[in-house]
Amino acid sequence: MPKVLSLVWYKVYPPSFGGQKGVALFNRQLAKHCELVCLCSDNNEPREPYTVLPALPGGQRHVINPFYWQKVKRICCAEKPSAIILEHPYQGISAWIAARTIKAKLVVHSHNIESSRFRQIGKWWWPVLRVYEKWVHRRADLSLFKTEEDLRWAIKYFGLDEEKCVVIPYGTEQTGRQRIADNFVREKYAIRPEEKIFLFAGTLDYEPNAAAVENIFRELAPRLKASGIPFKILICGRNRFPSFQYLNDLSDQDIIMAGEVEHIEPIFTAADVFINPVLYSGGIQTKNIDAIANGCNTVCFASQSTGIPIEVCGNKLFVAADNNWDDFAGQVSNAAAFRHPTPLSFFQYFDWERILQSLIRKLHLHG
């Protein structure tokens, strides 16, 4: 059986939120088709059915440290994979050195166009990252993107060969969960039976999500109150960095800051609508896919519906015009009026086995 090495510079095990789940589930499914080794940072706690080597330091600085480039090369020489899959471009130098040394294919798995994402949130160094990101992709044998839009952008601006580019969206699984958690969630957060539950979940110490929280308080909640709908908004997610603690000072009697929850799935199934008022963020919004997979009607802005074909979603995805808060509040009201099961077409489109077929063919992982 062919061997593949997945190179992950950050914590993904156990997976807690979108990006982590994306890597962990991708690797779990890929491991069904090859011998998989995941080389990752030492803050991971692996419980996976494939080999996980938490041998790299946590944090970002080691990706530019030549000592760790050599460590990655030594491990790759010992493992001898036929392909190295680089999660995000940051470990590009070490992955390129290792791939050249052992004559393995280099695959770059982009979750979005990183330099564009940091440009959107105002980081001054985004042009430097763009040059590096382009350099990494142009040396790859294969580049994986989450959306067709990102793939087309990279072909145009990075000068990539279309034959070396593949769309690998974020996959999901059919959960079969019922709304048995409804009473538990209502009791835990003191939500009355007649009140609709609107949920937002994400890493709150990330600028686009933090801005979304501010807009829930400033823009969305007042409009929902004016509509006359009785509701409570639950906001769940990690907030560990000092620069984002101001979010805890925001207050509204109809908004509950629930903090970091261990299991978000029961809250998805209890919620009437998942609201995603993020205005800028690159790539596919994994939180939208998770919400719909758990049967939750979902409202987002048009720019954040990228990579989710509305025709496979049935009546689950409601899209508002970008930055139009009246439209967004109206779509929330529409979404709260009914709740149908997530259609089979959604799970067929986001099925991991279907998603991975193009990658399996490109890497010849048939045996």
88 dihedral zone (left: phi>0; alpha: psi -120 to 50; beta)? left
Alpha helices per DSSP H over the chain? 18-30, 66-79, 92-102, 114-120, 126-138, 148-158, 182-188, 207-215, 221-227, 265-270, 286-293, 325-335, 344-349, 352-363
Range of the domain at 153: 3-171+351-363
Residue 141 shares a structural domain with residue 183 = no
Token digits of residue 251: 């207050």
Does residue 252 share a domain with residue 329?
yes
Please give the single-letter amino acid code of residue 280. Y
Give the model confidence (pLDDT) of 286-311 as tens digits. Answer: 889 999 998 999 999 999 998 899 99
pLDDT digits (tens, 9 = 90+) for 19-66: 788 899 999 999 999 999 999 999 998 889 899 999 998 777 778 888
- What pLDDT score does 1 carry? 81
Collapsed DSSP state (helix, strand, coil) of residue 308? coil
Q: What pTM does this model have?
A: 0.89
Whether 198 and 143 share a structural domain: no
Same domain, 188 and 136: no
pLDDT of residue 307: 87
- Average pLDDT of the chain is 91
Q: How far apart are CA 153 and CA 266, in angstroms?
A: 37
Whether the pLDDT of residue 333 is over 80: the answer is yes
Q: Tell me: the pLDDT tens digits for 144-181?
A: 999 999 999 999 999 999 999 999 999 987 665 555 66
pLDDT for 198-221, tens place per residue? 999 988 998 999 999 999 999 999
Task: Assess whether 18 and 167 both reside in one domain.
Answer: yes
Identify whether residues 85 and 110 lie together within a single domain.
yes
Please tell me whether residues 197 and 164 are part of one structural domain. no
Q: Are residues 32 and 160 in the same domain?
A: yes
- Residue 149 to residues 109, 110, 112, Cα–Cα distance (Å): 15, 12, 10
Number of structural domains (the chain) is 2
Are residue 240 and residue 185 in the same domain, yes or no?
yes
CATH number of the structural domain spanning residue 166: 3.40.50.2000
Rounded distance between C-alpha atoms, residue 69 and residue 19, angstroms: 24
pLDDT at 306: 86
Tell me the CA distances in angstroms from 66 to 86, 94, 151, one per residue in order. Answer: 17, 8, 30
| Whether residue 136 sits in one domain with residue 11 | yes
Residues 40 and 163 in one domain: yes
Same domain, 359 and 325: no
